[in-house]
């Protein structure tokens, strides 16, 4: 399985398990594009699933990076080493 992180806004992030990580996905009537991964995190004290990061397709790379940095505080998978 792939652990997918969906960055929606500064106040909204979703996660879910996916079987595969396509380039584009529709969720709740909105289009998300794959911005990173899926990548297998390095081993730590636990086993991690590969991680894929999605963001709204309309976001610029700069907007995506800002959301990514903001949500690193709340989503441990965004802080893993790869």
State the pLDDT confidence band at 81, using cuts at 50, 70 and 90. confident
Identify the residue whose tokens are 């992180």: 5
User: Which pTM was predicted?
Assistant: 0.91
Residue 45's pLDDT is: 80
Digit-coded pLDDT (tens) for 20-52:
999 999 998 999 999 998 998 887 787 889 999
- Residue 68's pLDDT is 95
How far CA 39 is from CA of 9, 10, 28, 30, 67, in Å, comes to 23, 23, 25, 24, 19
For residue 31, the model assigns a pLDDT of 97
CB-based contact 43:9 (threshold 8 Å): no
């Amino acid at each position: 399985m792939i652990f997918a992180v969906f960055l929606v806004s500064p106040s909204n992030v979703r996660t879910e398990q996916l079987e595969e990580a396509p380039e584009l996905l529709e969720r709740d009537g909105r289009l998300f594009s794959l911005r990173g991964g899926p990548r297998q995190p390095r081993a730590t004290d636990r086993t991690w699933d590969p991680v894929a990061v999605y963001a709204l397709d309309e976001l610029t790379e700069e907007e995506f990076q800002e959301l990514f940095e903001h949500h690193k505080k709340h989503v441990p998978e965004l802080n893993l080493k790869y």
